[in-house]
């Protein structure tokens, strides 16, 4: 990372880009991503090609049903994907493209192995044969975990005071333990050799663009702790550096990628709150519509001051949650500059997936404003 930063720094200061030239296409390889997950209904294997200039890759928005194509990949359709367990049983995958009516899901192969039936502590093999005759193989040994549970991590966390103190039972065959917390700016995850972790409210997400905090007041953030094998661990802790194109630990024969194991040890949801000391903080209830129009998308919002602006002329950051008319609870991110408050109502608690935007003015306990998409002016009253 420091090397990349150094290059970026010096280039920004003193370099300039010269005219680009074309280079010859190279031979494409096979890329495989596969994780055996003990909690999933089936096992997903992505099979695609390396990018070698054989096609222009369009810049499209991500579609979870078509994860390869919508995320800049070249899928390999028609491949034979097989997972063989330690007993020699062979499970063949089916490409989503062939079963989904939308025709999406090229290169996404689902192997019909229910996670709970995976044999912990045993070795599984992956074999992929492309239509062009290329064969890729890999193997993984699923960590054995004697104690597994779900929901055990759920708790309410006051970010200002509490520490997320999580412990789990160890697994002798796990290479490491993975801890993952979903957040509006992307997941936070870490590997550890320890069987416990203590997370403070100050924790920042180094994988997010702007190093946002992991725990956001008002949000309900899923947390998962799992034991992983060495393939999973090594693949995700290493990177190819931009100068040499090497660095990733690749244990897939005949291609690039990863065939790993992920054994969930515990899950839960962290309900994050914080002290409410600033005027803008509080629970706002819809009291009236100031003008005719559709009903507001929410009648109940809880707002927290996430952090203050760096300067007085910069806005404060707000977070929170809202309850939709249908009872769905989701997250809010927003900002406050003076009396002006702007709130983004999110889908799936993802900062990049906005459901509606409220813009209003805060006067005393009254927040008056309009929703961009769903209605006219609404008045909210802050209650303790």
Partner 1 sequence: MLQIDALSYAELRRGIELGYCPTISKMVREEGYTLRRWFCGLPSATPYCQAGIFHGENEGIPAFRFYDKLERRVITCNTPSGVQYIRDRIRAPGALAGGSSYVNLLDGDAQTVALTVATRERMSVFQRLGGWRMAMLLILHPIRLLRMGLQAVLEWLREEYERAVGELARRRTHSEGLFPFIRILSNVIVREVQTMAILLDVYLGVPIIYSTFMQYDELGHHFGPSSFQALRDLRRTDARVREIRRMIDSVGGREYDLVLLSDHGMTPSSSYRVLYGETLGKTVERILEGDAARRGNRALRARESFSHTSEYADMGPQVVEAVAQVTPASQRTFRRALGHFRDWMRSKYGLRELILPEKYRVEDDHDVVVTYSSCLALLYFVDDTKRLELTEIARDPRRAHLYLELLDHPGVGLLGTVSGPSVHLESTTGRAIIVDGRLEVLEGRNPLERYESSEQVVRAVEHLVSQSNTGDITIFGAYDGYEIVSFDDQIGAHGAAGGNQLHPFLIGPAYLHLERARIDDARDIHKTLMTRYSTAALVALLALAPALRGQQPARPASGVIAGHVLDATTSEPRQGTSVAVVGTPRGAIADANGRFVIPDVPVGNVVLRARLLGYKAIERPETVAAGDTTRIEFRLEPEATLLGAVRTQARPVERDAFESRPSVGTVQITARAAQGVPKFGEPDIIRIVQLLPGVEARNDFSTGLNVRGGESDQNLILIDGFPIYNPFHLGGMFSTFIDPTVRDVTLMTGGFPARYGGRLSAVLDVHSAEEVRGGIHGTAELSVLSSTGALGGAFNHGKGTWMIAGRRTYADKFVDLISTQTLPYHFRDEQAHVTYAFTPATKLALTSYDGRDVLAANSAAFGDSASADATGGTFLFDWGNSVNGASLTHLMASRNRGALGRFFLGDSTALEQRVSLSRFSTELDIGAGTLTLHNHVSDLRFAGSVAARTASHERTFGYDVVSYNIQYDARSSATEGRLYDLRQSPISGAAYFDDIWRASPSWIVESGLRFETLSRAAWSSVSPRLSAKYFLNKDFAVTAAVGRFSQWTHSLAREDIPVRLFDFWVASDSLTPVSSAWHYVLGSERWLTPTRYVRVEGFYKRYGNLLEGNPQEDPARHGDEFNVVNGDSYGADVLIRQFENGPFSGWISYTYAVAARNASGTRYFPGHDRRHDLNVVASWRLSKYLFGVRYGYATGTPYTDIVGQVVRRIYDPGLNAYGTRGSGSQTQFIGGTRNGARLPTTQRLDLDVTRQYQLRGMTIAPFLSVVNAYNAKNVFIYIFDYTKSPPTRQPISQFPLLPSAGVTIHF
Q: Under rule CB under 8 A, which residues in 308-367 are in contact with partner 1?
A: 308-310, 314-318, 333-335, 337, 348, 350-352
In the complex, the smallest distance separating the C-beta of residue 328 from partner 1, rounded to whole angstroms, is: 17
Q: 3-state class of 8 per DSSP? A: helix
Nearer to partner 1, 2 or 326 (CB): 2
- Residue 193 binds partner 1 (CB under 8 A): yes
* Backbone angle region of 88, left / alpha / beta, with phi > 0 → left and psi within -120 to 50 → alpha: left
Q: Could you tell me the CA-to-CA distances from 239 to 4, 176, 235, 313, 380 in Å, in that order? A: 12, 18, 8, 40, 49
Residues that contact partner 1, how many (by CB under 8 A) = 120
Q: Which stretch binds partner 1 (CB under 8 A): 49-57, 133-141, 282-290, 376-384?
A: 49-57
* Backbone angle region of 247, left / alpha / beta, with phi > 0 → left and psi within -120 to 50 → alpha: left
- Residue 194 binds partner 1 (CB under 8 A): yes
C-beta neighbour count of 364 within 10 angstroms: 8
Distance of alpha carbon 149 from its chain centroid, rounded? 22
166, 194 contact by CB (below 8 A): no
Distance of alpha carbon 317 from its chain centroid, rounded? 22
In the complex, the smallest distance separating the C-beta of residue 131 from partner 1, rounded to whole angstroms, is: 20
Nearer to partner 1, 185 or 380 (CB): 185
Nearer to partner 1, 89 or 198 (CB): 198
In the complex, the smallest distance separating the C-beta of residue 61 from partner 1, rounded to whole angstroms, is: 11
186, 171 contact by CB (below 8 A): no
- Residue 72 binds partner 1 (CB under 8 A): yes
Nearer to partner 1, 59 or 88 (CB): 59
In the complex, the smallest distance separating the C-beta of residue 10 from partner 1, rounded to whole angstroms, is: 4
- Residue 241 binds partner 1 (CB under 8 A): yes
In the complex, the smallest distance separating the C-beta of residue 5 from partner 1, rounded to whole angstroms, is: 7
Among the listed residues 78, 121, 152, 187, the single contact to partner 1 using CB under 8 A: 187
Q: Name residues contacting partner 1, limited to 156-185 (CB under 8 A).
A: 176, 178, 180, 182, 184-185
Nearer to partner 1, 194 or 339 (CB): 194
C-beta neighbour count of 246 within 10 angstroms: 10
Q: Please, what sign has the CA dihedral across residues 296, 300, 304, 306?
A: negative
Over the window 207 to 236, marking each residue x when it contacts partner 1 by CB under 8 A and - when it does not, the resulting string is --xxxxx--------x-x-x-----x-x-x
Nearer to partner 1, 291 or 353 (CB): 353
> What are the backbone dihedrals phi and psi of residue 368, each rounded to the nearest 5 degrees, phi first?
-120, 130
- What residues contact residue 162 under an 8 Å CB cut-off, 6+ apart? 201
C-beta neighbour count of 108 within 10 angstroms: 26
- Residue 101 binds partner 1 (CB under 8 A): no
> How many Å apart are CA 283 and CA 278, to the nearest integer?
12
> How many Å apart are CA 32 and CA 279, to the nearest integer?
52
Nearer to partner 1, 54 or 116 (CB): 54
Look-up of token digits 């039972």: 169
Among the listed residues 102, 116, 156, 246, the single contact to partner 1 using CB under 8 A: 246
109, 93 contact by CB (below 8 A): yes
- Residue 120 binds partner 1 (CB under 8 A): no
Q: Please, what sign has the CA dihedral across residues 159, 163, 169, 172?
A: positive
Nearer to partner 1, 214 or 273 (CB): 214
- Residue 6 binds partner 1 (CB under 8 A): yes
In the complex, the smallest distance separating the C-beta of residue 153 from partner 1, rounded to whole angstroms, is: 12
- Residue 117 binds partner 1 (CB under 8 A): no
Q: Which stretch binds partner 1 (CB under 8 A): 70-78, 147-155, 294-302, 356-364?
A: 70-78
Among the listed residues 205, 231, 370, 374, the single contact to partner 1 using CB under 8 A: 205
């Amino acid at each position: 990372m420091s090397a990349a930063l150094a290059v970026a720094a010096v280039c920004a200061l003193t370099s300039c880009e010269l005219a680009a030239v074309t280079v010859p296409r190279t031979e494409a390889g096979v890329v495989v991503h596969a994780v055996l997950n003990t909690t999933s209904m089936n096992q997903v294997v992505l099979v695609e090609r390396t990018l070698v200039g054989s096609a222009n890759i369009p810049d499209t928005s991500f579609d979870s049903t078509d994860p390869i194509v919508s995320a800049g990949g070249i899928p390999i359709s028609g491949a034979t994907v097989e997972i063989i367990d330690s007993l020699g049983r062979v499970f063949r995958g089916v490409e989503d493209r062939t079963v989904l009516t939308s025709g999406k899901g090229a290169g996404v192969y689902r192997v019909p192995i229910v996670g709970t039936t995976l044999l912990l502590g045993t070795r599984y093999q992956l074999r992929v044969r492309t239509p062009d005759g290329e064969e890729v193989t890999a193997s993984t040994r699923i960590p054995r975990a004697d104690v597994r549970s779900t929901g055990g991590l759920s708790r309410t966390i006051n970010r200002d005071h509490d520490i997320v103190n999580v412990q789990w039972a160890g697994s002798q065959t796990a290479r490491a333990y993975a801890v993952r917390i979903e957040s509006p700016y992307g997941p936070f995850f870490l590997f550890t050799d320890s069987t416990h972790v203590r997370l403070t409210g100050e924790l920042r997400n180094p994988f997010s663009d702007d190093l946002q905090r992991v725990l956001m007041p008002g949000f309900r953030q899923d947390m998962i702790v799992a034991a992983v094998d060495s393939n999973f661990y090594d693949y995700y802790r290493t990177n190819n550096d931009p100068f040499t194109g090497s660095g990733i630990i690749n244990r897939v024969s005949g291609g690039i990628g990863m065939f790993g194991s992920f054994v969930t040890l515990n899950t839960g949801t962290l309900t994050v709150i914080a002290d409410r000391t600033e005027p803008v903080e509080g629970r706002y209830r819809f009291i009236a519509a100031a003008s005719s129009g559709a009903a507001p998308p929410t009648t109940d919002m809880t707002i927290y001051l996430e952090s203050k602006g760096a300067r007085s002329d910069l806005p404060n950051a707000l977070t929170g949650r809202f309850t939709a008319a249908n009872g769905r609870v989701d997250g809010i991110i927003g900002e406050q500059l003076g009396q002006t408050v702007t709130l983004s109502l999110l889908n799936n608690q993802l900062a990049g997936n906005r459901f509606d935007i409220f813009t209003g003015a805060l006067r005393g306990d009254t927040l008056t404003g309009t929703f961009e998409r769903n209605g006219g002016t609404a008045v909210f009253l802050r209650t303790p």
